[in-house]
Structure 1
Amino acid sequence: MQSRKIPVWLISSIGALFLFMQRGGTRRTPPAPASQALAMEQCQVEGWEGKASAKLPNTKADEAWSLLSSFCSIHLWLPSIDCRLVAGAEGQPGCVRYCTSPPGDDGSDAAYWAAEELLAFDPVGRSYSYKVAENNMGFGRYVATFRAVPLPGNERGCELQWTFDCDPLPAWTKEGFVAYLQDNLDGIARRVEDAVRTAAAAALSNTQASE
């Protein structure tokens, strides 16, 4: 009896099936074209990073830091909010401040609030970092650092810096949020300069009175 030859196409099909079964019988999706992968990447929402800064030409960094280093006393320099310590010890990482502000312009009677946790405190570098935890303001991930640094070429002055890294905020643009932060920091800078100027004038007056 003459043996019958198996067609080449059948051998190829059987080999492919065997290989398919050896790999678990799972069909593998080919990688997406580069253009499709790029489109998918662009669809992902990117986080925000930004910075506000304010120069104090007549206030040294140490002077500014001595007034602003209290994590739970931000309301002294930003009177539009109330702030109090609700957990932990002031100035120790892990402590939490509770900040509230009046209702916004949306017609709601509800006050805005946020619990903010101190992450790091560096008196030598004149800075502290914190994150927003629970809140009703739409914050998701939000980490910020506040610092006072000397002004290059001006040992009498300093610069306040407020940097942040966060998820996009509902109903805000990044530019609008940076402008809001800048406005608050400008107000803090003015009040600190006024306080330092007043203290210097009082010290001079006391010195002259004692002579």
Structure 2
Amino acid sequence: MAESKWEGKASANLVGSTPQEVWPHLADFFNLTKYLPSIDTCYKIEGEDGKPGLIRYCSSTITSSSGGSDEVVIKWCHEKLLEIDPSKWYFNYEALDNNMGIRSYFSTIKILPIDGGEEDGCEIEWSYSADPIEGFTFDSFLAYIDTSIHTMAENIGKAIQSTG
């Protein structure tokens, strides 16, 4: 029997940073290497920057020890921007070709004001729907998303502080 779709979400707060300050860091579809250290490479394959249809290449280098020697593997994925709305601070995308065991993956990243007041800070939310992914359980994938969104929020917060 096939497993059902995985659906989940994780979020992280950026106290003292407004959605307007955070949005440019997320809206750049190629910024992943700045805010998510596990991503080595992220660049445009095709499409117009900031427009639906844009496709990016992302990769991570993974080193594993096996039989006394280190094996280096590059895990990669093409991701397509499906929708982006700067006025509502969100975008969604899907995974396309990859060597990561992803068959179907759709995700939305959005920024929400904390407590309805933009001046108090904001929350970055990452939600997804996916077929089960090779090498992960549902819980381990959710933990990966949760760790990733918190790392991104922390690094975006540092970037905002360093320019402010």
1:102 positional shift: 0.7
Contact 1:53 1:160 in 2 (8 A): yes
Partner of 2:128: 164
- One-letter amino acid of the counterpart of residue 122, structure 1: D
2:130 and 2:122 mapped to 1: Cα distance? 26
1:104 positional shift: 4.7
For the structure 1 residues 171 and 49, does the alpha-carbon distance in structure 2 shift closer, same or farther, using more than 3 Å as the test?
same
Partner of 1:79: 37
1:75 positional shift: 1.5
Count of residue pairs the alignment pairs up: 158
Any gaps of 5 or more consecutive residues in structure 1? 1-42, 201-211
Give the number of the structure whose alpha-carbon radius of gyration is greater: 1
Partner of 1:149: 112
1:47 and 1:68 mapped to 2: Cα distance? 26
Q: Deviation per CA, 1:126-159, whole angstroms, max 9, x where unpaired? A: 1110000000000001000111111115432000
Instruction: Please point out which of 47, 50, 55 is paired with 1:96.
Output: 55
Task: Please tell me whether residue 179 in structure 1 is matched to residue 138 in structure 2.
Answer: no
Question: Which stretch shows the higher mean deviation, 157-166 or 104-113?
Answer: 104-113
Contact 2:64 2:72 in 1 (8 A): no
Higher helix share: 1
When normalised by structure 2's length, the TM-score is 0.90
Question: Which stretch shows the higher mean deviation, 157-166 or 182-191?
Answer: 182-191
Instruction: Please point out which of 44, 66, 74 is paired with 1:111.
Output: 74
- One-letter amino acid of the counterpart of residue 64, structure 1: V
Any gaps of 5 or more consecutive residues in structure 2? none
Task: Please tell me whether residue 132 in structure 1 is matched to residue 91 in structure 2.
Answer: no
When normalised by structure 1's length, the TM-score is 0.71
Partner of 1:123: 86
SS in 2 for 1:102: strand
Higher strand share: 2
Q: Percent of counterpart pairs with the same letter?
A: 34
For the structure 1 residues 199 and 125, does the alpha-carbon distance in structure 2 shift closer, same or farther, using more than 3 Å as the test?
same
Deviating 4+ runs (over 4 angstroms) = none
SS in 1 for 2:96: strand
Contact 2:77 2:97 in 1 (8 A): yes
